Amino acid sequence: MVAALGALLSCCPAVALLNLIVAVIAWVRVRGSGGTKRGVGLALAAMVVSVLLGTLAGVVGERVARASEATMTSQVREGITQLIQGEVDPSAWWLDSTPAALAAFQEQVHTRLGKPVVTTVTMTSTEVGLPTLATFRFLLERDGTTRVGSVACVVSTDPTSWLPQVRFSSMRINLEADAISFPLTTTPPGALDPK
């Protein structure tokens, strides 16, 4: 009975594996009881259901993870593009910032880089927790020159769509001799990230 209940509760491959082990143990004990214990069919059903749900959870879980990463990457690209191109109020993408501070950052980017195009956005790390944090690396290109940047994000779940929703907490764009960062700081030469 415990094995069957566990099989029904399988929501991830690790739980399904544990359920499969319990179901096999139950099946071996019932088969070896010489007829004093009943439930061979139930134990067998629990094994089958554990394998099926574990496989399904693994496949679905992988697809959900890839879709979530693609959604976050798309949102980061859109947010950076809108910030750099000045197409929308950038405070819509940022946590704990004022429109005036973001306008100053935007002006600094335009003064130093013009309006480059975001060519690549790649997730470099995630820290799952409350809140979930993610870091992305991006490339900006203008007039044949490529700049590397990074943006740190806080990820939440949209309660209506259950999709991830990113909000920027900091951004850094590396230049030849220094970097432009938000919250606004200019990093001196030699202190750049090795990335």
Supply φ then ψ for residue 175, to 5 degrees.
Answer: -115, -175
Range of the domain at 44: 2-61
Say what percent of the chain tops pLDDT 90: 17
Note whether 26 and 56 are same-domain residues. yes
> In sequence order, what are the beta bridge partners of 170?
152
Note whether 86 and 37 are same-domain residues. no
Domains contained in the chain, number = 2
Q: Which CATH number does the domain housing residue 165 bear?
A: 3.10.450
pLDDT at 188 over 50: no
> In sequence order, what are the beta bridge partners of 152?
135, 170
Q: Identify whether the C-beta of residue 56 lies closer than 8 Å to the C-beta of residue 90.
A: no
- What Å distances lie between residue 16 and 2, 3, 8, 60, CA to CA? 13, 10, 9, 14
Note whether 54 and 86 are same-domain residues. no
Note whether 56 and 80 are same-domain residues. no
Tokens 């335009």, located at residue? 110
Q: 103 is written with which tokens?
A: 């306008």
- Give the largest CA-CA distance in the chain: 84
pTM for this prediction: 0.66
Note whether 95 and 131 are same-domain residues. yes
In a domain, 6, yes or no: yes
Note whether 140 and 159 are same-domain residues. yes
Of residues 77 and 177, the one with the higher pLDDT is 77
Note whether 161 and 81 are same-domain residues. yes
In this structure, what DSSP letter does residue 162 have? -
Going edge to edge, which strands form the sheet with 164-174?
117-127, 132-142, 145-157, 164-174, 179-182, 185-187
- Show which of 28, 61, 94 is a domain's final residue: 61
Of residues 32 and 193, the one with the higher pLDDT is 32
**First-last CA distance in the chain:** 54
Q: Which pLDDT score, from 0 to 100, does residue 11 have?
A: 54
Average pLDDT, the chain: 80
- What Å distances lie between residue 195 and 38, 56, 119, 158, CA to CA? 62, 38, 17, 31
Note whether 119 and 160 are same-domain residues. yes
Of residues 86 and 42, the one with the higher pLDDT is 42
Query: pLDDT per residue over 115-170, tens digit each?
Result: 899 999 999 988 887 788 899 999 999 988 999 999 999 988 878 877 788 889 89
Instruction: Please list, in sequence order, all residues whose beta carbon lies within 8 angstroms of the beta carbon of residue 112, skipping any fewer than 6 positions away.
Output: 175, 180
Query: pLDDT per residue over 50-62, tens digit each?
Result: 888 787 777 777 7
Q: Identify whether the C-beta of residue 4 lies closer than 8 Å to the C-beta of residue 42.
A: yes
- Show which of 61, 89, 104 is a domain's final residue: 61
Query: pLDDT per residue over 100-129, tens digit each?
Result: 888 888 888 888 888 899 999 999 988 887
Note whether 23 and 84 are same-domain residues. no
